Amino acid sequence: MFESTMQDFPLTVGLLFRHGRTVFGESEVTTLVGDSVRRASFAEVADRAEQLAAAFRRLGIADGDRVGTFMWNDQAHLEAYLAIPCMGAVLHTLNIRLFAEQLTYVANHGEDRIVIVDDSLVPLLAKVAPDLKTVEHYLVVGNGDATALEDAAAGADVLRYDELLAAEAPGFDWPDIDERAAAAMCYTSGTTGNPKGVVYSHRSTVLHSMSVNAANAVGLTERDRVLPIVPMFHANAWGMPYSAWFAGASFVMPERFLQAEPLAKLIESERPTVAGAVPTIWSDLLRYADEHGTDLSSFRIVVCGGSAVPRSLMERFEERHGVRIVQGWGMTETSPLAALSHPPLGVPLGTPEEMDLRAHTGRVIGGVELRITDDRGEPLAWDGEQVGEIEVRGPWVTASYYRDPSPEKFDNGWLRTGDVGMVTPNGFVQITDRAKDVIKSGGEWISSVELENLLMAHPDVIEAAVIGVPDPKWSERPLACVVRGAGSSVTAEQLQEFLSERLARWQVPERWAFIEEVPKTSVGKFDKKVLRARHGAAELEVEVLE
């Protein structure tokens, strides 16, 4: 091998940390606190991250030890994002919306030694604290009552975050870290059985951050103000904490205030330019903004993902508020960004063709390789027609799960995503369904995603989820579970007629259920397994049309 002359310089979170701290020390982190905001510069946040690392070292945290966070999107959480991996420990973000049994499993399986918790979440964490086997210390952020956690901590110390930091001086001696070492870990609930752990390396985190900041992706710069609405416990907030810090983009942190009204007021006062959240958040914000005339003009781009983004949602935001929503796709296993639906050269902005492409799941970003395979595992052509399972590989794609080999999820170096779809010749991916959600009716495939998007384009429909249910003649047929808008009395017949104008007749559901709300997973996705269980238990009032 003819070797290069380049330095073998490690790609670590420390590289991101130092760059943001020194080059962009005046960028700021703004956190919503009730009716006011708290501000700190990057330099001040970096000083506190050093104090946090020193406190962890005094508490005995060593290389590779896991430190859990049970927190909202706030400044302290960002400090943990920086301090924990830079000192050689492993950041483990705990999902505050998991059921108690799952949360207990995740913390025990990850063997967290410390958990940092926001004071408003103390009562929630206290419910599982007696069952957390490896936690030695709880660090409470804020001055709220921590009695419940002290009573339930089962021998672990309950300490105050700010008091610990105050006892330490800036100037921590950061260690040299191997870029292949673990930096962070998240558990995905998108699999069967117990949640599965994905462990990100320092190298994968840096490369993912660079990719997010590329002009073909989100393209963050110092001029941006980033509003991460997607929780920081969900796939590391789609990588935004690290990519924004690296780019010097200021943060606007919503803390626990994720409802439409406080978000709208925060957007108007702090003028973010970039944001990321799941479609349900944007749907609520759209309704509020329509009713109250909210000024959303500061946004240059909004990234939406986590589940299929209805075309109607993108169209309404752009037509009514001038907000450009771009659909993205990825998984916890892909760090998570793998595709983003920017239209290609030659497609004019604001045209139906451009919206057609933005309605795609995403265009593969540089650094990720993607293929679709048939039932035998053979690759299929990128022709925009053939449908198969989507598989991916790349430097920020996981090669396994933590202490759970799951060989069925991997195929000779490729991650089997469980998503089914097609790819155009120029790399636009269109997911037609999750493999477990595909509806096979009379030998033909029906896309539940397409049905849901079309239904949510109806002005009287707030949410819609479609599941397959048994049928004696066709083996399986779609059941449309619909949430009507306020004051709407739209009927199944009217919705069926609406779909009949847009789909082949055999694809249109004859089974309908009107529900109060579509159940959601812990990360805001439609939870169809709950709907299937409710249908199996005859808990849904189903109307069958001829």
What CA–CA distance (Å, rounded) separates 388 from 393?
Answer: 16
The pLDDT of residue 518 is above 70:
yes
Out of 163, 444, 445, 506, pick the active-site residue.
445
Contact 267, 260 (CB under 8 A): no
The mean-pLDDT minimum among 21-35, 258-272, 444-458 falls in 444-458
- Angle between helix 13-23 and 75-86 (nearest 10): 130
The string of DSSP codes covering 508-534 is S-SEEEE-S---B-TTS-B-HHHHHHH
Out of 101, 222, 385, 440, pick the active-site residue.
440
**What is the pLDDT, as a whole number, of residue 524?**
78
Segment (H or E) for 141: strand 137-141
Average pLDDT over residues 216-230: 97
Active-site residue flag, 543 = no
Would you give the distance in Å from CA 136 to the centre of its chain? Answer: 29
What one-letter code names the amino acid at 314? M
pLDDT digits (tens, 9 = 90+) for 445-476: 788 888 998 999 999 999 999 999 998 888 88
Predicted structure pTM score:
0.87
pLDDT digits (tens, 9 = 90+) for 81-140: 999 999 999 999 999 988 899 999 999 999 999 999 999 999 999 999 999 999 999 999
The mean-pLDDT minimum among 292-306, 328-342, 423-437 falls in 423-437
Would you give the distance in Å from CA 239 to the centre of its chain? Answer: 9
Q: For residue 506, count CB atoms less than 10 angstroms from its CB and return exposed for 0-12, middle for 13-18, buried for 19 or more.
A: exposed
The pLDDT of residue 161 is above 80:
yes
The band of 443, judged by pLDDT with boundaries at 50, 70 and 90, is low
**Is 308 a domain residue?**
no
pLDDT digits (tens, 9 = 90+) for 196-210: 999 999 999 999 999
Cα angle for residues 347, 352, 417 (degrees, 5° grid): 80
**What is the pLDDT, as a whole number, of residue 504?**
80
What one-letter code names the amino acid at 257? F
The band of 193, judged by pLDDT with boundaries at 50, 70 and 90, is confident
pLDDT digits (tens, 9 = 90+) for 355-375: 999 989 999 999 999 999 998
**Is 524 a domain residue?**
yes
Contact 507, 451 (CB under 8 A): yes
| Domain limit, last residue, from 215, 232, 258 | 258
The string of DSSP codes covering 312-367 is HHHHHHHHHH---EEEEEE-GGGSSEEEE-PPPTT--TTSHHHHHHHTSSEEEPTT
What one-letter code names the amino acid at 317? F
What CA–CA distance (Å, rounded) separates 267 from 504?
Answer: 42
| Domain limit, last residue, from 258, 275, 306 | 258
**What is the pLDDT, as a whole number, of residue 457?**
92
- Phi-psi group of 116: left, alpha or beta (phi > 0 → left; psi -120 to 50 → alpha; rest → beta): beta
Active-site residue flag, 440 = yes
**What is the pLDDT, as a whole number, of residue 341?**
96
pLDDT digits (tens, 9 = 90+) for 473-493: 888 899 999 999 999 999 999
Identify the CATH number of the domain in which residue 452 sits: 3.30.300.30
**Is 417 a domain residue?**
no
Active-site residue flag, 382 = no
Out of 30, 104, 188, 280, pick the active-site residue.
188
Active-site residue flag, 136 = no
**Is 100 a domain residue?**
yes
Would you give the distance in Å from CA 376 to the centre of its chain? Answer: 31
Tell me the longest C-alpha to C-alpha distance in the chain: 74
The band of 192, judged by pLDDT with boundaries at 50, 70 and 90, is low
Cα angle for residues 339, 343, 347 (degrees, 5° grid): 165
Identify the CATH number of the domain in which residue 177 sits: 3.40.50.12780
**Is 499 a domain residue?**
yes
The pLDDT of residue 26 is above 80:
yes
**What is the pLDDT, as a whole number, of residue 503?**
86
Q: Quote the number of domains for the chain.
A: 2
**Is 424 a domain residue?**
no
Would you give the distance in Å from CA 531 to the centre of its chain? Answer: 22
Q: Peptide bond before 344: cis, by omega within 30 degrees of 0?
A: no
Range of the domain at 452: 439-544
Residue 502: CB atoms within 10 A of its CB come to 12
The string of DSSP codes covering 194-228 is S-EEEEEEHHHHHHHHHHHTSTTTT---TT-EEEE
The pLDDT of residue 444 is above 80:
no
pLDDT digits (tens, 9 = 90+) for 308-341: 888 999 999 999 999 999 999 999 999 999 999 9
The pLDDT of residue 190 is above 60:
no
Contact 231, 253 (CB under 8 A): no
User: Would you state the structure tokens that stand for residue 432, as one six-digit string?
Assistant: 């037609």
The band of 439, judged by pLDDT with boundaries at 50, 70 and 90, is confident
What CA–CA distance (Å, rounded) separates 370 from 374?
Answer: 14
What CA–CA distance (Å, rounded) separates 324 from 536?
Answer: 40
**Is 333 a domain residue?**
no
| Domain limit, last residue, from 228, 258, 288 | 258
**What is the pLDDT, as a whole number, of residue 505?**
87
pLDDT digits (tens, 9 = 90+) for 30-58: 999 999 999 999 999 999 999 999 999 99
**Is 382 a domain residue?**
no
Out of 50, 270, 333, 389, pick the active-site residue.
333
**What is the pLDDT, as a whole number, of residue 191?**
55
**What is the pLDDT, as a whole number, of residue 362?**
95
**What is the pLDDT, as a whole number, of residue 375?**
86
The band of 433, judged by pLDDT with boundaries at 50, 70 and 90, is confident
